[in-house]
Structure 1
Amino acid sequence: MTASDGLDFTPSELDRDATFYVAGHRGLVGSAIVRKLEAEGFGNIVGKTSAELDLKDRDAVFAYMAEIKPKYLVLAAAKVGGILANSTYPVDFLSDNLRIQTNVLDAALANDVERVAFLGSSCIYPKFAEQPIREDSLLTGHLEPTNDAYAIAKIAGILNVQAVRRQYGLPWISAMPTNLYGPNDNFSPKGSHVLPALIRRYDEAARTGAGTVTNWGTGSPRREFLHSDDMADAVLHLLEHYDGPEQVNVGTGTDVTIKEIAETIATVTGYQGETEWDTTKPDGTPQKLLDVSKLADAGWTAKITLEEGLDRTVTWYRDHADALRQ
C-alpha cells in the first residue's frame, strides 16, 4: 500500500505549532531550512549539533527521537565533500551516510513521524544520463566513480523512503537538489565542493594580490547551482504541496561551465589576475543539469539569480572567514 493509493492524504499547510526536527540544522541546507521555518512562523523547531548527538549512534538517535516526538522531519544531515574528499575517503562517505540515514529514518518510523523529507543529491544519477536529467533516470547507468560511494548511500535513502511508503503507507518524500551554495557552506581547502572552493581561492588571491589562480580540470564541465535559501523554500513547498514515491529534482533548470562560474566569482571577489587550469586533474561528470518539470508542476521555481546568490555568499564568507573550518 502506498500513501497515494492507500491513504486519504492530501498535502496541505503544515502545523506551525508542531515539533519540527531538522537533522543537520547547522549545515548549509539545514540552517537555511531553519531560517525559512522561522520566517514562516514555526514555533517549535528542534535540532542537535553533531557534538550533542552523533547520528551514527543508533541508540542515541532513537532516544532523542522518542524524547522530542516530532510531527515533521527534514533529514538534511550528511557527510559531504568535493571530488578530492569523496575520492580519498569513499568508505567514510558510504558508511557514515548509510548509518545516519538508517538511524534517523528508522527512529522516525518508530515514533510515528507524520511527514518526512529526505534530502539527497544530483550525484545519484548516472554519469552519462540524458540531459536535462529526469527523475526516471535513476538506476539506469553507471555512476560517476569519483563520488559513487556517496551516491549509493543517497540512493539507499530514496529507496528507504519508498519502502516506508509501500510497507507502512506514510506520506514521506525525497528531494534531490542540484549543486547548492550559500551561508554555512564548507569552505575548507580539502573538503569543499567546487563553488565554495572557488570562492575561497579567489578571495584569498584578491586579498594577497596573487597573479595567478589555478583550478582543477579543464573548466568545461557544466554545472547547475542553487542557493540554499531557494532550496529551503522548495523543501517547505514540497512538504505542503507534493506527495509521491518518486524523488523530486530541485534546481534552477539552467547551467553554466565551471570556467564561467570561476570568471563570475573572480569578478565578485575583485580578483584581477590570471586563471590557469590544471588539466591533469579530473573534471568529474561532463554535465549535470536537472529536469525540474516535476517541481514546476508542483508550483515552485527558483527565485535567487546566480549573480545575486554569489554576491550574498561572498559577503557572508568574508564576514565569517576567521571562524570557518580550515
Structure 2
Amino acid sequence: MSSSMKPVNTSYMNPRTVILIGIPGLEHVQFWIGFPFLAVCLVALFGNVILLIIIPTERSLHQPMYIFLAVLAATDIGLCAAIAPKMFAIFWLRAYSMTFGACLTQLFFIHTLQCIESGILLAMAFDRYVAICDPLRHTSILTPPILGHAIGAVAIRAVVLVGLLPILIKRLHVFRSIRVAHSYCEHMAVVKLAAEDVKVNKICGLFVGFSILGFDMILILISYALIFRAVFRLQQKEARLKAFNTCTAHIFVFLEFYILAFFSFFSHRFGHVPPSTHILLSTIYLLLPPALNPVVYGVKNMVIRERVAQVVLLSRGGGP
C-alpha cells in the first residue's frame, strides 16, 4: 500500500510556489558568488543608462546603428532587472520561494528579452551589410519608418513565440518536485519538474530557440560572409581596414552572445555538464553581454567616449 502511495506523496498538484535553490552544489559559497555578479550588473546598468542618455541627445548618433544600440541598451537593462533582484535575494537573503505565477512571468520576460536582443543583433548586422556593400543607398534603405517597423517586428516575434512557453507549462498540473535547480526561472529547468508528458514543451522550446536564435545566427553569418567578400574586393588596404574596423565590435558581441547562448541551450537538453557549471555559465551568458555591449561599442565610438568623459567629470564636480 505504501508503495502504491509513493507517487502521490512525492507529487505536487498545481503548485502555487516553487523553490529556487540557486546554484546546486555551491549553496555554501553563493553568498560570495553574488559579489562578482553584482559588479557585472552595476557595470551593465551604468553603461547602458549612459548610452540611453547620450544617443538620444547627440544628433551625430541619430543613425540606424546607434538607434539599434539604444534599443539593445534598453533590452539589456530589462534583462538585468528580470534576473538580478531574485538572484541576489537567493544568494544573500536566502529568499528561495517564489510564486508559480511569478516564476512563469520571470521566465517569459527573460526569454523574450533574450530573443529581442538576438533580433537587434541581426538588425545591426543588416545595417553593417548595407553600409559597406551598398553605402550610397544606406540612408534611403534604413529610413526611420523602416527602423521602427524592424524593431516592432523583432519585439512582436519574441513576445508571440516565447509566449507559447509559459502557456504550455500552465497546462501541466502534476509536478514531481517544486525545487528549481537554478538561480532564475529558466524554461527547461521548470519543465523538468513536471511528472507528466512534456514532449510538446520540449519540442516548442526547440522550435522557439531555432526559429529565433538559430534563424538570426544563420542570417548574421550570411550577412558577414557578404560583407567580407565585399571588403576583400576593395583595392586600397586602408579602405579594407576601415571597413573591418566598423564591424569588429559587432563581431565580438555576436560571437560572445551566440556561443554562450547555444552552449546553455544544448547543455540543458543533450549535454552532461555539471549543474553548477551549467547554471554559472547560463547566468554569465545572460549578464555578461549587457555589461560588455556598452563597453565594446563605447570604446569604438569617439563621440560616445567624449560624452562619457563629460558625464564622469560633471559627476565629480569638474564642470563642463
Q: TM-score, normalised by structure 1?
A: 0.23
Q: Which is richer in strand?
A: 1
Q: Which structure carries more helix by proportion?
A: 2
> What is the TM-score with the length of structure 2 in the denominator?
0.24
CA radius of gyration, larger in: 2
